[in-house]
Amino acid sequence: MPDLISQMYQRKWLFGVAALALIGIALLVRGFWTTDGRAARSQAPAARVVPVETALAKRQQVPVRIESLGSVTPIASVAIKARLETEIVAVHFTDGAFVKTGDLLFTLDGRSIEAQIAQTEGVLARDRAQLAGAERDVARYTDLVAKSATPVINLDNAKTQLDVYKAAIKADEGLLQNLNVQLSYCTVRAPIEGRISAANVKVGNFVRPADTAALATIIQMAPVYVSFTVPQKVLPEIRRALAQKTATIEAIIPGEQKRAQGQVSMIENTVDSATGLATIRATMPNADEVLWPGTLVTTELTLRTEEAVVVPSNAVQISQAGNFVFVIKDGAAKVQQVTIARTVGDLSVIAKGLAGDETVVTDGQLLLSDGTRVNPRPARTASDAPAGT
């Protein structure tokens, strides 16, 4: 009997231990499930907010411009060549110097011409002396014929000799004048004002009029021409602007901060049928020699100014549906389709899609889609850039 009671106590004890173990396991499993749920709820993704840079769409006066590629051409260019077969004895300029009209450039050897001039002057003096003698003979024979002291034929012969000496003197004077002209060719002077090239020949070289290479070349630097082409469809608008005197032109030189200004002076009288382009020529004062002949420049022909909505060009994005911008409304980015009329510098002129005063995204568009929450900030300026950048 005691054994039976003992066995019953042992079974109750085992059942109690097993019940406690089951309760512990249940509590442990519940704790794990509760912890995992809280973790899952704590790891749920929050709404994404994208930081972006913004700018304001503005309505302002913007120029209507036509940009084209042009070239600088001189108004006047002179190739200096020798007009005598002789030797160069002096060069009076520095290569590439600025010369004025009348400046002495080259001196050529003119000693042979000087000798011919001296010889001709001697012949002229002789003929003048003979002419004086012939005039005295005519006067003497005239008196004798009046007194019937000599035949008339002697007077006629004296008059003929007088005419011969007069003709000889005239020929001598013409020859002397020609020699003086030839001698003037020995001093070569600048016919125009401008920038001279390097001297192709130096002292001691023999030059001839038949030489193909010029001694040097002078190019007028101020004013100069800038020639460029425009599509034929804009010609009517350009002609109206010229008639109203609102058209101005600027030439932008690569690597130069300055801009050269001028006026349109000519529109070519024909349009190239092969390309549909018309040539326009502008006259530029170029007093500071910013424009160098032969340089390729970017021309900006401003026709007028008009009011329009503009945004920074980096705000405009391209998709298969066309151009668009992200407009910020109520803290979210919205896609707004726009039509671009033209660009002016770093601004895009909006023809349709914006009315002005909208806030548009200028940086960070790659992370945006329609409706994305954003944290806008103004676009950085040069002063906001980190030091050393």
| Strands 86-91, 98-99: pairing kind | unpaired
pLDDT at position 389:
37
Residue 261 lies in a domain: yes
pLDDT tens-place values along the chain, 389 residues long: 445 455 555 665 556 656 666 666 655 545 544 444 454 444 545 567 889 999 999 999 999 999 999 999 999 999 999 999 999 999 999 999 999 999 999 999 999 999 999 999 999 999 999 999 999 999 999 999 998 888 999 999 999 999 999 999 999 999 999 999 999 999 999 999 999 999 999 999 999 999 999 999 999 999 999 999 999 999 999 999 999 888 899 999 988 888 999 999 999 999 999 999 999 999 999 999 999 999 999 999 999 889 999 999 999 999 888 999 999 998 899 999 999 998 888 999 999 999 989 999 999 999 898 999 999 887 654 334 444 43
SS3 250: strand
pLDDT at position 256:
83
Say how many domains are in the chain.
4
Residues 333 and 377 placed together within one structural domain of the fold: yes
Q: Which of 328, 349, 327 is nearest to 339 (CA)?
A: 349
Cβ atoms of 83 and 203 closer than 8 Å: no
Residue 38 lies in a domain: no
Residues 331 and 374 placed together within one structural domain of the fold: yes
Residue 337 lies in a domain: yes
Cα Rg for the chain, rounded, in angstroms? 49
Alpha-carbon distance 183 to 185, whole Å?
5
The strand pairing partners of 338, in sequence order, are none
Alpha-carbon distance 357 to 58, whole Å?
6
Residues 134 and 259 placed together within one structural domain of the fold: no
The strand pairing partners of 80, in sequence order, are 216
* Amino acid, res. 209: P
Q: CA 257, 259, 265: angle at the middle one, nearest 5?
A: 160
Provide the residue range defining the domain that includes 299: 65-75+222-305
Indicate which CATH number applies to the domain containing 155: 1.10.287
